[in-house]
Amino acid sequence: MHLVIIGNGIAGVTCAQTVRRLRPDARITLVSAETAHHISRPALMYLYMGHLRTIDIKPYEDWYWAENRLELVQDRATHVDVLAQQVHLLRHPPLRYNSLLLATGSGTQYYNWPGQHLSGVQGLVSLPDVELMTRTTAKVRQAVVVGGGLIGIELAEMLRSRGIAVTMLVRDAHYWGSVLPAEEAAMVHKQLQRHGVEVLYNTELAEVLGDEAEQVRAVRTSTGAELPCQWVGIATGVQPKIELALGAGLATERGILVDELLQTSAANVYAAGDCAQRRNPPAGEAAIEPLWYTGRMQGETVAHTICGQPTPYRRGPWFNSAKFFALEYQVYGRVPPQPVPGEVSFWWQHATAPCALRLHYRLDATQTLLGISSMGLRLRHETCDAWLRQGVSVRYVLEHLGQANFDPEFYPEHEAAIVAAYNARHPEQPPLRLRRRKGLLARLLSV
């Protein structure tokens, strides 16, 4: 069997590794134009800030690929012939495949702003992007970042590391309004303030203004303000790369359409990761999941199907994490940004330190936990995942909160304060007692 994978991001690479494990005899070829080897996309920001070198963001050393017989071709796939089962490459002879995985990823999403073509306007998705940014920001004093999401705040942190003045344009009334509730967003806002980032909420980009040299000189916002700047970062989301799929005549919408086995409309052609769009995602799940973790899970799932073990993509409870400057964030399950009828949140925030916890649960007699998120506290993935799968009540979670504590040793423990806060807020309920503290000693003593 010859499996050809277009794209060496996390989805493509995980698929290759899983197929190698399931089918030791398979021939596996990874094609990528961007880099010779797999790199960690979430680490791009650390290259710019000088924390890491390019070799440091390679998850595997170079010998790994040859030793595991994973063939690498650095080239651009120009056309897929689904009838002849062939991939045409720019500089290499065509590759015949038995199975083809499109893991082409995504690129920066632009919204046809006037002036978006100007020099100094760019997004941050790929290694060439960060190299370009390194060059184009060398002399920049003021920058504007469009978009209040994860890439937006990463760009702000990167630019601030070089002492560049940053203004963020955020469409919503608070940071990452599509994901974070207002309290979490307020904590992120404090981080932005502490690190010297100017934020304009309820503000969008209207136009990028350039000079005679086609260089950015300012942006005009939806509120009519003109902000002088020499560089504009676009962080308003990503767009699946579907050119190859379109050329091959596959069914597409925003992304490459796939069924729950991640099969495209053509036989033996699959899609996974940022470029894939599920036709019928389960309720509450997005059709396109442009995330490292889901890319990894989709790559693993599709490998089973490719190896003759048809496996629908079921990712289990949602999880994600991020770091907003110095503030860590984790989420497990579903924590909606806006109130949802029939559901309620318990929110605890430390009086002075930047740490907080949110327990989202069903507002009925069961009080079933629906989601759990934290700022400045580390939670144990296994524990949260088990709670969500078992559908335990929020009262159980609070009484056993120490079990989910993943903070380093000597860090202050907040479980008792959190339980006390819950009791104070719900005098009508029988008071909770913290049964489970953190650590081995606590486990031995509490039974």
| Residues making contact with another protein (CB under 8 A) | 10, 14, 17-18, 20-21, 40, 42-43, 46-54, 56-61, 63-64, 67-68, 130-131, 134, 138, 161-163, 194-195, 292-293, 296-297, 300, 316, 319, 321-323, 325-326, 328, 330, 378-382, 385, 406-412, 440
H-helix or E-strand containing 335?
A: none
176 HSE (CA, 13 A, CB side): 22
CB nearer another protein, residue 83 or residue 440: 440
Q: How far is the CB of 179 from another protein (least distance, A)?
A: 16
Q: How far is the CB of 295 from another protein (least distance, A)?
A: 10
DSSP annotation of 301 = H
What single letter denotes the amino acid at residue 249?
G
CB nearer another protein, residue 14 or residue 264: 14
CB nearer another protein, residue 367 or residue 415: 415
What the block records as the tokens of 5 is 């994978």
Sheet of 231-234: strand order equals 121-122, 231-234, 142-146, 165-169, 197-200
**CA distance linking residue 165 with residue 276, whole number of Å:** 37
CB nearer another protein, residue 86 or residue 161: 161
**CA distance linking residue 123 with residue 101, whole number of Å:** 26
Q: How far is the CB of 314 from another protein (least distance, A)?
A: 13
Q: How far is the CB of 409 from another protein (least distance, A)?
A: 5
* Alpha-carbon distances, residue 409 vs 203, 328, 443 (angstroms): 42, 17, 15
Q: How far is the CB of 94 from another protein (least distance, A)?
A: 28
Which residue shows structure tokens 């630019």?
Answer: 159
Write the DSSP string, 88-131.
EESSS--EE-SEEEE---EEE-----TTTTSBTEE--SSHHHHH
List CB contacts of 11: < 8 A, sequence separation 6 or more: 101, 103, 105, 272, 273, 274, 295, 296, 298, 299
Sheet of 95-96: strand order equals 77-81, 86-89, 95-96
Count the neighbouring beta carbons within 10 Å of the beta carbon of residue 439: 13
What the block records as the tokens of 305 is 């199907």
CB nearer another protein, residue 88 or residue 378: 378
What the block records as the tokens of 262 is 């991640």
CB nearer another protein, residue 255 or residue 295: 295
CB nearer another protein, residue 236 or residue 330: 330
Q: How far is the CB of 408 from another protein (least distance, A)?
A: 5
Q: How far is the CB of 378 from another protein (least distance, A)?
A: 4
CB nearer another protein, residue 202 or residue 321: 321
What the block records as the tokens of 258 is 């796939």
CB nearer another protein, residue 163 or residue 342: 163
Q: What is the dihedral of CA 259, 261, 266, 267, to 10 degrees?
A: -150
170 HSE (CA, 13 A, CB side): 26
CB nearer another protein, residue 226 or residue 382: 382
**CA distance linking residue 223 with residue 344, whole number of Å:** 35
Q: How far is the CB of 98 from another protein (least distance, A)?
A: 22
Q: How far is the CB of 207 from another protein (least distance, A)?
A: 30
Q: How far is the CB of 346 from another protein (least distance, A)?
A: 21
CB nearer another protein, residue 83 or residue 410: 410
Q: Is 121 exposed, middle or buried (0-12, 13-18, 19+ CB in 10 A)?
A: buried
Q: How far is the CB of 255 from another protein (least distance, A)?
A: 21
